[in-house]
A and B are shown apart, each in its own frame.
Chain A
Amino acid sequence: MPWRLLKFALNPNHSEPRFFPPETPLKERYDMVIIGGGGHGLACAYYLAREHGVTNVAVLEQGYLGGGNTGRNTTIVRSNYLTPEGVQFYDASLKLFEDLAEDFDLNIFYSNRGHYTLAHTDSAMRTMRWRAEVNKHFGIDSEVVDRSHIAANVPDMDLDCGGDAPVLGALWHAPGAVARHDAVAWGYGRGAYQRGVEIHQKTRVTGIKVDDGKVRGVSTSRGDIACDKVISMVAGSSPRITSMVGLETPIEIYPLQACVTEPVKPFLDTIIVSGSLHAYVSQSSRGELVMGASVDPNVLHSTRSSFDFVEELADKMLDLFPFTGRLRVMRQWAGMSDITPDFAPIMGKTPIEGFYLDAGWGTWGFKATPISGKTMAWTAVNDRNHELIEPFRLERFADFVQVGERGAASVGH
């Protein structure tokens, strides 16, 4: 048993330090304000403090820490994207993820399970090969594999999918992992707090003050704050914030749903994604099957659940794992996703001086948490887009330049 647990046993009265501060009043002025206390916002605060020494920072969260999409996603980390810009960006994120637990001294349950993206059609096989070739080019461990590879690793899967659209092969991405999403946010939050950043929960931003095209401050449900730099990191609610500064974006909000079964003993180690079946599944360390599909088919600003979602998902899941029919869905939920036309994020500077945007995270924001925090911190400090995020700048749309990520991200897990 690890020594720290022995310490608990030997000193029953030992109390652990706080992760997060108790509520304190807002200061009148901060150097920077981060809107959104999810993974991205807390990561940005952490890197601002740790790498740039910027600690006069307030993270404003309308609800509770990690309560938005950070706490609602299905925790998959991977870097097997399609475009060079995507692959390099997510690979940098994955590498940061691998070190996080030790950086934080907090177990984020980063669990390297391996990740299959199943192909059921010729055209899907072509896309898998494309992704594999681009991935390999950047030194990322991805390859197109045949049915026998899948059968060896996931012997209980029905590769014939009940007789329709059998699996032809897959993209195998060995570094694919899952992590405990909440712990990632808590680790970043604790690290930022320990370095002097202020974290304010239940503090809703109601307006952003802009003069002469420059950010001057933020109005909140708890009063006004002066600042020169605001970083919006609120995927799922980005248009609400951008509309405060009169910024138009291509982002539309679509719900993304997921569900879990009752916890059972481990039988599935790898992460399985099927674009054709619009379904993905992994088994959490608690033993629940964590399942999801693609975004809902229309715009909606709500985290309501729909029954059609769980019906459809169950039906498809049983094609892959017929024996799970006897497992029971315990809970379903939804998050709101920022969807962009090219399935790539929108990051960096904006036409408004001092207003930085980290948005458009679609269904893949969790896996980008570390690198988004790191590059956005750099960008805000230097007032210049970090090179890794330059392809994701908002102005690309005005230039009719899209990132070609649609093929890899349309079922984005």
Chain B
Amino acid sequence: MSCRLPIQPFEWLDRHQRVRFTLEGRGFEGYPGDCVSSALWASGQRLLGRSFKYHRPRGLLSLANHDINALYENADDTHIRGDVTPISAGLQLSATNTPGGLWHDRMRWLGRLSPMLRVGFYYKAFHSPRRLFPFWEGVIRRAAGLGKVNTAWRRQVTPKWYTHCEVLVIGAGPAGMQAALHAAEGGARVILVDENPHIGGSLDYAWVHDSEAASIRVQLKQAIKAHPGIQVMTGTVAGGWYADQWIPLCTPDGIAKTRAGTMIVASGLLEQPAVFHNNDLPGVMLASGAQRLVARYAVQPCRRALLLVANDEGYRAALDMVAAGVELVAVADLGDPDARSALADELRSEGVPVFARHMIHEAEGSDGVTGAVIAPRIADGQLDLSASRRFACDGILMSVGWAPAAHLLYQAGGKLGYDERIGQIVPRELPDGVYAAGRVNGVFALADQLQDARRAAADALAVLAGHTPKGDPLRWRSRDCHSADWPIAEHPKGKNFVDMDEDLQLRDLLDAAAEGFDNIELIKRFSTVGMGPSQGKHANMNAIRVLARTLGQTIDQTGSTTARPFYHPQRLDHLAGRRFRVHQRSALHEQHVAAGAMFMEAGHWQRPDYYGSPAEREDQIRAEVRAVRNGLGIIDVSTLGKIEVLGPDAARLLDAVYTMRMTNVKQGMTRYALSVDETGVIVDDGIVGRLGADRFYVTTTTSHAAASYRQLGRYTAEWGLNVRILNRTGQLAAMNLAGPHSRRLLATLTDLDLSEDAFPYLGIREAEVAGIPARLMRVGFVGELGYEIHVPYTCAAELWQRLMADGDDYGIRPFGVEAQRRLRLEKGHIIVGQDSDGLTTPYEAGMPWSVHLKKPFFVGRQTLEVLQPRTARQLVGFALPTNYTGPELCECLLVIADGNIRGRVTSVSYSPTLGHLIGLAMIDKPLAGIDQPLPIRTTDGRIVEARQVATPFYDPEGLRQRADLQLAEAV
């Protein structure tokens, strides 16, 4: 039984082709341009989906992307909305949340349980006895939820891009088109968006046979097409409004992030259903939905319709239906048809009976509408059933009122309120640069909508030109009522749905209010009204009306819930866009790869953990340590922060930022640089080197490089210092050549006098190494004679290769981060963030020598002065015997004494040099003492008694910093 109409003037169909698709194995056919719902409806398929809770049959409602009960899924997607998704050849769909299928849904008996499943029923059951709750929860979880996720789906990478415009117009109906055109003619760059595949909006479905509309349509569309200043984006949803007019325009292909100078919301209205018994049966639909069905898809909504109206729009829809060959069995007007325009008379003249002050009492039918019973309205919204009339029909069309699609206006900070005269929520106060035009602004007559649009566009242009807008947003607002204040009828059998997403009946809301959930937010949360996928687009307004009447309040007193993004749900794939991840690689990365490095992640950096195969990890690390201790090693330390501090106040700046005195660092020397925050907690460490009176070179830890540079800049500004700060972190590569052969090798590559007197420990020099300009520092982190060599990153590979080649004679070996950690641990040096935590002071870390409290000022000084005598924890070294064979020790095991937590292990590893386990632990001070026991509890609860030992574990006198094999051999 085809319901396809002859060609309609503005239909979206391409009648030259046919498209076949299947729904749960049954074949259907439509034209390109059909949506799933229209193609099904055209084929006489009126059962489109099932409701969420009771699995009731549902059909068409709005055809405007709000028909949540016609949801489908297939191999590629779920929550496919039938009312907007175009059909395509070979599409294979099944209805969501229909166990056993759309036609044989095994859960369709659930409606019979509705007396049990009263609002909030799940709060009142299933929790006792407690042991049964998991069972019931499983039942509820499986029943809830709509679509099924296919875990084999993979990320679909979609682009995101940026656009800008001076005027963004949301909605390409008559008002939106006119506003866009007026703004563009005023010289503005305009983007006009509409979620439909074509512009036109209500002009093309609600004003199809209107002669005035005909000329407007042609003129607007042609002018828009011809105007170079207007970019039209169809199929595009303005997802939400964010600060400073930042609006994601969500297209089928990805999201255009748009910065709009001004925004004109011409998004129109959402038609609201009437609430009566069986108002959800297939065949009951919004009049505007029926108009869309006819005008866009050339499908007849039904053969015989009863129309429920409360406004002129309903009568126009009635005439449209007559034109589409629908037999109107009756029109029930909630109010007085004679108070409306001449349309009612026009209908009567067509022989359609029109009943004044009537409401639908119930719809009849089981799988679809077979009849309707109407009755006169008497006082207080009650119906006089003694005077009811029954009409046989297969469709009920509702045109009883509207709610504004004002989501973006709310999000932009607009204030809206209820206009009693037109029965609609309208904008009251909008922020600068945000305008509403057309029906969303309560303007209904077509000519008035165009005037209102020009007003909004003129205001936008004025603001863009820096003038005060002068338009009056109330000027064109309608003066008659377009929404019934009570399009709702009680019914002893219920099934009068207020929210069709959530299957909420009138009684559910009344019960919720009676239980004390009697404000709009509480009733929403308790009943879940408005919480389904359409976010209450067809439910919230009626819910507000129900609550207002229950409480005897006005609509404004009752208020409304917030309209949060998104206007329509948006895919995570689209929101995520392209997948960007920062990877930083040192200039020496290729060298490490060639040398067989196994990498680890250090922030965004990839650093060699060790060199060699994973199977030999421990052996390789030990060999790397031995190479540094006994011969020669080299490590890439390019990830360190590297900052130049220049200027007359450079020393003062560093003195005030670091805990040690920096003003008296001698030229050509370095000093340990520890910084704490205002609370006295260690945040970073590194080296300050003085290259000249006004020239310093500072290194920081890898993770704190950016923050240190940032902080230095801020203090410079705050203290008004004459300092320049340069971040060289990315520009310079660095490598630490360490081990007793280091001087011998380096001497062959530089003219610099490397003798102990000329370039002592902790010295810094500038010289050429292998012809490359370099900075050299004698540093002690790993505890051997060594040189940290900083060179431009472009020369790093060349130098590395040279050192490796020439160092071959001395058994040079690259070493990684893990070997360096062992080497520094042998020296008792801390790693900030590992041996210190979010509260560790230098005193706790055992570094009182690093704090010069005598300085008049440094960041954190006064706090440290307070904390010094209160130091309650201490970082201590510990060791286990060479023959220790107990359980494995790892970092963050707890120190337990008398059954209490007294500290934790911060570092522990096998010392290849000493031949046993060593570590650091942060413990309560009373427990600390050389040779005292350190009881460590292992993961399985055993206590391992370690012994506290002095640090450094290795070379406490620091003699190795000067240990030069060349010299030794010479002697």
Contact = CB atoms under 8 A, between A and B. Distances in A.
Interface of A: 1-2, 4-6, 8-9, 12, 15-22, 63-67, 71, 84, 101-102, 105-112, 120-123, 126-127, 129-130, 132-134, 136-137, 144, 156, 162, 164-165, 180, 182-183, 186, 201-202, 261-267, 285-287, 304-307, 310-311, 314-315, 317-319, 322-333, 341-342, 400, 402, 404, 406-407
A182 B583 CA distance: 43
A127 B890 CA distance: 12
Contacts of A137: 894, 896, 901
A123 B833 CA distance: 8
A323 B152 contact: yes
A261 B141 CA distance: 15
B535 A261 contact: no
B533 A9 contact: no
25 contacts: A4-B124, A5-B125, A8-B115, A9-B116, A12-B115, A101-B130, A107-B124, A112-B134, A129-B939, A133-B904, A144-B939, A186-B123, A264-B147, A265-B97, A265-B142, A266-B141, A285-B137, A287-B141, A287-B145, A304-B242, A304-B411, A315-B575, A315-B577, A328-B570, A402-B679
Contacts of A19: 515-517
Contact of A126 (B76, B123, B141, B892): B892
A322 B154 CA distance: 5
Given A109-B122, A332-B566, 14 more contacts: A8-B118, A12-B115, A105-B127, A123-B833, A129-B939, A186-B526, A262-B147, A265-B146, A266-B142, A267-B151, A323-B153, A325-B154, A330-B535, A331-B535
A130 B904 contact: yes
Given A201-B519, A331-B565, A332-B564, A264 B149 contact: yes
B521 A63 contact: yes
A47 B535 CA distance: 36
B891 A324 contact: no
Contacts of A306: 242-243
Nearest to A202: B519
A101 B572 contact: no
B202 interface: no
A17 B515 contact: yes
A104 B896 CA distance: 40
B121 A329 contact: no
A162 B579 CA distance: 9
Contacts of B115: 8-9, 12
Contacts of A341: 679
Contacts of A136: 941
Contacts of A311: 160, 575-577
Contact of A407 (B127, B128, B515, B838): B838
B969 to A, nearest CB: 40
Interface in B137-190: 137, 140-142, 144-156, 160
B576 A318 contact: yes
Contacts of A333: 562, 564
B246 interface: yes
B65 interface: no
Interface residues of B, number: 101
Q: Which secondary structure characterizes the binding site on chain B?
A: loop
B125 A4 contact: yes
Given A129-B891, A327-B572, A265 B148 contact: yes
Contact of A286 (B145, B569, B573): B145
Contact of B581 (A65, A164, A400): A164
A137 to B, nearest CB: 6
B493 to A, nearest CB: 10
Interface in B929-946: 937, 939, 941
Contacts of A121: 601
Contacts of A325: 153-156, 571-573, 576
B257 A107 contact: no
Contacts of B14: none
B367 interface: no
B511 interface: yes
B79 interface: yes
Contacts of B519: 64, 201-202
Contacts of A326: 76-78, 149, 153, 156, 571-573
B301 interface: no
B571 A328 contact: yes
B387 interface: no
A307 B246 contact: yes
A111 B134 CA distance: 7
- Most B CB contacts (10 A, CB to CB) among A132, A265, A333 go to A265
Contact of B113 (A9, A15, A263, A324): A9
Given A310-B575, A329-B575, A107 B516 contact: no
B516 to A, nearest CB: 4
A152 B164 CA distance: 48
B248 interface: yes
B323 interface: no
A305 B565 contact: yes
A132 B79 CA distance: 41
Interface string B510-544: 01001111110110011010000101000000000
Chain A to chain B: the 3 pairs with minimum beta-carbon distance, closest first: A287-B145, A328-B569, A325-B573
A1 B117 CA distance: 11
Contacts of A332: 240, 564-566
Contacts of A120: 601
A318 B572 contact: yes
B750 interface: no
- Most A CB contacts (10 A, CB to CB) among B134, B514, B581 go to B581
B125 A286 contact: no
Nearest to B866: A400
A263 B573 CA distance: 17
Contacts of A286: 144-145, 528
B731 to A, nearest CB: 26
Contact of A404 (B133, B521, B837, B891): B837
Nearest to B52: A263
B894 A134 contact: yes
A304 B679 CA distance: 32
A15 B511 contact: yes
Given A127-B892, A285-B137, A315 B579 contact: yes
Interface string B576-598: 11010101000000000000000
A1 B135 CA distance: 12
Given A64-B519, A318-B155, A322-B155, A265 B147 contact: yes
A285 B144 contact: yes
Contact of A267 (B140, B149, B576): B149
B893 A129 contact: yes
Contact of B126 (A107, A186, A400): A107
A101 B460 CA distance: 55
Interface string B590-617: 0000000000110000000000000000
Contact of B572 (A64, A102, A162, A324): A324
Interface string B866-878: 1100100000000
B863 interface: yes
Contacts of B941: 136
A8 B891 CA distance: 59
A265 B145 contact: yes
B631 interface: no
A35 to B, nearest CB: 19
A170 B80 CA distance: 36
Given A17-B515, A106-B123, A304 B116 contact: no
A16 B948 CA distance: 68
B242 A305 contact: yes
B226 interface: no
A285 B901 contact: no
Nearest to B117: A5
Contact of B153 (A106, A123, A307, A322): A322
Nearest to B563: A331
B907 to A, nearest CB: 10
A122 B600 contact: yes
Nearest to B71: A262
